[in-house]
């Protein structure tokens, strides 16, 4: 951290037990991982540490979930919950391989609440599946969530997200199994640009994007950049931290005033994850909440003077 007021706050989990031991998406090949287990495990530690250091250098504070043996994907904290306005809506996983993560994430969020980092922890209605921020990408410029569904999350989870946070949720159906979570194919920039891979979505989902995003703000990824998981990025103000990108995408982002920082995450690509997957933003605020916070801060000196 560079100051007492962090630039952002993220939840992460050290990759002490990360490995590819099962296959629940096309990226995952347990046999290939097993052949290179030692080298890939060491690479995962180095890559995770580099991402952690980069975020700290950018002024972020990092909260940590304890790693758990036998839960290799616990490292992908983006899937733990949807978080906005100091409220967390806990995830529920579709695949049995990931369902044992749920009580550990529950305990982590209860601890964050006990330490004053969150105000509330909510659960989904029975029967609904929603895999956290992996399928619920916050668009601060539009004050809404883009919500992926069809591969891992249920479209009906939209109602639960809207009821919990009081913001609009735009459902987008995913069709390409490589892009199983929305965060693998779409990233919302703070100035209003939307980076996305059209091939990941149905025609109706693409139409929903075109309806809400001006042509000048659409940045369409090539298949090559999409498969680098260039959309799976962490954005802090004008800095974009991503696992890699082609020269055309880098040039376009830089022309728009962004600083691109590539942080290789090849070991995690074996599991279909990258920078966004490995982090969960804990301090995002909606526009209404932000105005309330700013207003309370303006009133604070007067309140102190009266006390």
In the chain, where are the structural domains located?
8-296
Average pLDDT, the chain: 93
Which of 52, 136, 181, 270 is the catalytic position? Answer: 181
CATH T-level fold of 8-296? 3.75.10
Concatenate the DSSP letters of all residues of 43-87 into one string.
Answer: HHHHHHHHHHHHHHHTTEEEEEPPP-TT-GGGG-GGGSEEEETTE
- pLDDT, residue 76, reads 99
- Is residue 289 scored above 70 in pLDDT? no
Of 192, 191, 148, 145, which is closest to residue 172 (Cα–Cα)?
148
- Is residue 291 scored above 50 in pLDDT? no
- pLDDT, residue 301, reads 34
Tokens of 303: 């309140």
Task: Find the mean pLDDT for residues 59-85.
Answer: 98
- Is residue 105 scored above 70 in pLDDT? yes
How far is the CA of 126 from the CAs of 92, 163, 169, 272, in angstroms? 10, 15, 20, 28
Is 181 in the active site?
Answer: yes
- pLDDT, residue 82, reads 98
Task: Give the rounded percent of residues in the chain with a pLDDT score beyond 90.
Answer: 91
Rounded CA Rg of the chain: 19
pLDDT band at 4 (very low <50, low <70, confident <90, very high): low
pLDDT digits (tens, 9 = 90+) for 8-56: 999 999 999 999 999 999 999 999 999 999 999 999 999 999 999 999 9
- Is residue 169 scored above 70 in pLDDT? yes
């Amino acid at each position: 951290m560079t100051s007492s007021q962090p630039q952002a706050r993220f939840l992460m989990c050290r990759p002490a037990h990360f490995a590819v031991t099962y296959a629940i998406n096309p990226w995952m090949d347990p046999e290939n991982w097993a052949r290179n287990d030692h080298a890939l495990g060491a690479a995962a530690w180095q890559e995770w540490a580099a991402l952690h250091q980069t975020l700290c250098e950018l002024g972020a504070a990092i909260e940590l979930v304890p790693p758990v043996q036998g839960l290799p994907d616990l490292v992908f904290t983006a899937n733990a919950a949807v978080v906005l306005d100091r409220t967390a809506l806990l995830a529920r996983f579709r695949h049995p391989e990931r369902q044992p993560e749920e009580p550990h994430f529950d305990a982590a969020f209860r601890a964050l609440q006990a330490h004053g980092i969150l105000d509330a922890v909510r659960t989904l209605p029975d029967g609904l599946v929603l895999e956290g921020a992996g399928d619920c990408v916050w668009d601060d410029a539009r004050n809404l969530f883009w919500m992926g569904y069809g591969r891992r999350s249920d479209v009906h989870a939209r109602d639960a997200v809207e009821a919990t946070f009081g913001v609009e949720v735009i459902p987008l159906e995913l069709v390409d199994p490589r892009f199983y979570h929305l965060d693998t194919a779409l990233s919302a920039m703070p100035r209003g640009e939307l980076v996305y891979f059209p091939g990941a979505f149905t025609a109706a989902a693409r139409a929903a994007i075109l309806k809400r995003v001006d042509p000048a703000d659409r940045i369409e990824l090539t298949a090559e950049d999409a498969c680098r998981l260039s959309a799976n990025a962490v954005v802090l103000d004008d800095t974009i931290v991503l696992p890699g990108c082609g020269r055309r995408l880098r040039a376009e982002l830089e022309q728009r005033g962004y600083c691109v920082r590539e942080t290789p995450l090849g070991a995690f690509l074996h599991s279909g994850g990258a920078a966004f997957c490995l982090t969960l933003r804990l301090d995002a605020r909606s526009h209404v909440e932000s105005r309330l916070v700013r207003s309370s801060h303006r009133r604070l000196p007067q309140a102190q003077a009266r006390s």
